[in-house]
Copies of this chain bind each other. A is one copy, B any other.
Amino acid sequence: MEKSDIGHHISQQYNEELEELRNRVLAMGGLVEKQIADAVGALYEGDIELADHVITSDYQVNAMEVNIDEECTLILARRQPAAGDLRLIVAVIKTITDLERIGDQAEKVAHMALRLADAERPKNGYLELRNMGKQVKEMLHKALDAYARLDVEAALNVAHEDLNVDSQYEAIMRQRITHMMEDPRSIARSLDVMWAARALERIGDHSRNICEYVIYLVKGKDVRHISLKQMEQTAMEED
């Protein structure tokens, strides 16, 4: 499907509905990105107010999910979309589920930030979580960019980055286990760091999912549950 195929209908209003839907997904994505940045910032700075703000803002993400879902059902019922438009709606329904769950993970990180704010801060100020947080936020940003531009190649690049996130996660886990064994007094704090790292790792997975929907949307091919190499081959095949 060419980009130009989306949003070109005889009905101007239908065009506008689809365009509006895409924009709402991007707006929801923007809010979720901010939630990640704020949650990781709160952790790094030990900023309790910012952490609270993330937690109390989660309802906005949830409300956006419910509203966009409703809009999708309305368009399905009214417009009976086919082909590329139908794939767009299905991709939106799936994308917002992942965005909502990214929001939940950001909220979890904010809870960890609250708990860690009271604990003695490590010399590096949780630098490893900050790096990982920065990377998954960028992953999500690029995934949403690929979605906005219907860019399969960009989507594949983001999917690749998830490998890097996974290895950062493994490194944090190994380091923390060693740390816990050496100094059992650090167990509670280490566990919080591990849960935060786990939440960030999940954000990477959800961002990768969004990239898979971009490929489905543009190519009409389902690339979930296959290896990265197979995904590349499938995405790059001529239609």
Partner-B contacts on A (CB < 8 A) = 59, 62-63, 65-66, 69-70, 72-73, 76-77, 80, 82-83, 86-87, 90, 93-94, 97, 177, 180-181, 184, 187-188, 191, 222, 224-225
Contacts and interface: CB of A to CB of B under 8 A. Distances in A.
A73 B83 CA distance: 9
B62 A86 contact: no
A181 B188 CA distance: 9
A67 to B, nearest CB: 9
Contact of A177 (B62, B93, B187): B187
**The 4 A-B residue pairs with the shortest CB-CB distance in the complex, in nearest-first order:** A62-B225, A80-B80, A184-B184, A66-B222
A6 to B, nearest CB: 16
A156 to B, nearest CB: 19
A90 B59 CA distance: 22
13 contacts: A62-B225, A65-B224, A65-B225, A66-B222, A66-B225, A69-B222, A70-B222, A73-B86, A73-B90, A93-B93, A177-B187, A177-B188, A180-B180
Given A97-B94, A180-B184, A188-B177, A77 B82 contact: yes
Contacts of A69: 90, 222
B187 A224 contact: no
Contact of A181 (B62, B72, B187): B187
Nearest to A101: B101
A69 B89 CA distance: 13
A184 to B, nearest CB: 5
Contacts of A73: 86-87, 90
Contacts of A80: 80
Nearest to A205: B104
Nearest to A222: B66
